[in-house]
Structures are given as structure tokens and as C-alpha cells.
Amino acid sequence: MRSIYLDHNATTPLLLEAADAMRRTEAEAFGNPASAHHIGRAARRALEDARERIAALLGASPDEVTFTSGATEANNLAVFALAGGRVTASPIEHPCVVEPLRQLETRGFAVDWWPANSRGLVAPSPVHADARLVCVMLANHETGAIQPVREIAAALPTKTALHCDAVQAVGKFPVNFRELGVTTLTASAHKFGGPKGVGVLLAKRGTKLHPLLFGGHQQQGKRPGTESAPLAAGMAAALDHATRNMPANLAKLTALRARLWERLCELGPVVLNGPEIGATDVVPTTLNVSFPGCRADLLLMALDLAGVACSTGSACSSGSLLPSPVLRAMGLSDELLHSALRFSLSPRLELDDIDEAASRISSVLRPMWKFATL
């Protein structure tokens, strides 16, 4: 049986272009970028070239780009560096933003949580006069809802920093660091066809970043540790490829998302969680659906056996039976919370894949729905 992967928000397969760039860089510039000799200097050149390309593609300057091991590290770095006593955050952030904030709460910091509405959009209000940091992601990992980050940035007092987790947005639709007006922004290569284990933190020039790690002078001491030129080159190649193909990819994803929803609606009383089909404030990679009367964890396992890979929420919380905090913040009933699945798409899928997935979902769902009504 052919497997159908509908979990691209968890991770994406490596693009050929990224693999080629990594192989080439490892062959031609395998050295330590900190070494003074010519082999080290070649690695330094490859690293700085990747930094410049990523900066240009995201509307930042090269000196505003810090390479990290991924977005979890980058989000932790931003939150711990910028939180000055009081923070405001959206309640739909990824666990790698929420958990650092919870850590800060245990150290006496105050965290104010904005509400979210039933479409999965944060509902901002004026921040507390003492707030030094606001955290709002750009595109939500579970619903795809695009948050009004630019409007939030424009309304904030200048003394308040704005951190934006743009992991599910970068490589999917145009993201311009400067135009968004945020202080810091994070991205992760493996979400757009790049390698796992590399991400970036963009930080506006002049932002003080206190390191999480100590023991080296790399990246101006903000993130010590030997940089990987091959991983950086792979990330730059993937971002370049995603950006060049963005209009075609967005059109394809929009059609795939609409088709999946249409097919699921034919199965029975399904409920869409997040922005509706045709909405402009959603990344069309993501379709979150509740199947009332079914337990999402059982459905997920049955679908896995049927060769369809999807998710009940962020990959970091998979394995946990706790309902999604994102959907809970949107005010979903227990019934809808416990029956929600996230399907996340890639432009490499075809309409036939969607039809085949829907047909397998139908065969798995029918007996479960029948059982639920007995």
C-alpha cells in the first residue's frame, strides 16, 4: 500500500536542491568556519554566503541572522533574552514559546495571555505599561490561521519588543522581517524542505541577545558552538527554492485544501477548526477537522494502519492524549476537541492523493461512526 503523508507541518522531506547544496558544501567546505587556514576560510565563506541569502530572502541584514539548531532553540533564545519582568503572549503559541514563558512565570515574571477567537485568531488588546515583550506567531501550526502581526507591531509602544515565531509561514508565503516590524523572528529549515537541525533567529540590529549557551565566541557569542556550513547552505537552498515557487505552490495548496475539505464533507458531519475555505488569513498547508463521535487518537492510529499519516496536533505533543491547547483556546467543545485531526499538505501532493486519502479516511471512519451511534 502506498503511503500518503499529510503531516507536513511536523516536517517535510528534504528537497533535492537542499541535499545537493549540503553535499557540495560538505565536499568543498567541510572545515571549521572558525579555523584561520584556507580550509576553514572556505567553510566561513559558505556559511556567510548562506547567511546573506537567507537574510535577503527574509528582508533582513546578514548581521541580524543567528543560526541555531532549529526554532525551539531560537524561540527560547528570543524569549529569555527579551522578557523583562512582564510578557504578553497569544494563547496559541507553539509549546517552544509557551514553555519558556511558563519557566519565567516560576521565576516571578508576569505573563498576560491574550484570548483567541473561534477562527483561531488572537484578539489583541493594549498591553500592560510594564510589558517588555509580546509573543505572537505568524501562522498557527494547528489551524494555519495567519495572525495580525504587522498590526500588532504598529500598535505597540517602542519600549515593548515583539517576538514572532514564523516557522509555519516562512517558505509558504512572503515573509519580510523589516516590513512586519517585529523585533525578533524565528524560522526552521525542515518545515520548508530544508534539513533538520538548523534554524535562524532574526534580531533587529541593536537588540541585546543574552546567550543560552556559553563557551565559544561564534556568532558574536550570541550562539556559541561550531556552525554547520552544510546545514546553513541546505537551509538557504531550500528557502530559495520555496520562494521561487511560492505563487505556484500557494495556488496548488489552496486547491488541495479545498478538495480535501470537500471530500471530508461528503463523509458526514465534520467541523472545520480555523479559517474557512477561501479565507485569506490562512496558510493553505493546514486543514484542522473534527469528526464528532470519533476519538482522534483512535482515528489517527486507524489511519496510520491504512497508510495515511496525519496528526492530532504539534509533533512535540504527539504521544500525549491531552487535547490541543490551541483548539482549547479557540473555545472548542470537549466533543470537538477530542475528535480533531490536523492534515497538513505539500504542493508535491496531487488531487488524486487527496481523493485516495479521503477514500481511506471514509473506510476507517464509517465503522467508527456506526459504533458511536449504537
> Which residues in this chain contact ligand PLP in the complex, by CB under 6 A?
9, 70-72, 94, 96, 137, 141, 165, 167-168, 188, 199, 314-315
**Phi, psi torsion values for 104, nearest 5 degrees:** -65, -35
Q: How far is the CB of 120 from ligand PLP (least distance, A)?
A: 13
Nearer to ligand PLP, 70 or 360 (CB): 70
Q: How far is the CB of 163 from ligand PLP (least distance, A)?
A: 12
Nearer to ligand PLP, 165 or 227 (CB): 165
- Residue 200, classed as helix, strand or coil, is strand
Q: How far is the CB of 55 from ligand PLP (least distance, A)?
A: 19
Q: Quick one: the chain helix, strand, coil %, rounded to 5?
A: 40, 15, 45
Q: How far is the CB of 94 from ligand PLP (least distance, A)?
A: 4
- Residue 22, classed as helix, strand or coil, is helix
Q: Are 195 and 14 in contact (CB under 8 A)?
A: yes
- Separation between Cα atoms, residue 338 and residue 319, nearest integer Å: 14
Nearer to ligand PLP, 253 or 270 (CB): 253
- Residue 265, classed as helix, strand or coil, is helix
Q: How far is the CB of 257 from ligand PLP (least distance, A)?
A: 17
Q: What is the CA radius of gyration of the chain?
A: 21
**316 is an active site residue:** yes
Choice among 96, 164, 294, 316 that is catalytic: 316
- Number of alpha carbons in the 13 Å side-chain half-sphere of residue 144: 30
Give alpha helix (H) positions in 83-116.
95-106
List beta partners, residue 199. 68, 188
Length of the chain: 374
Residue with the CB atom nearest ligand PLP in the bound state: 70
Catalytic residue list = 316
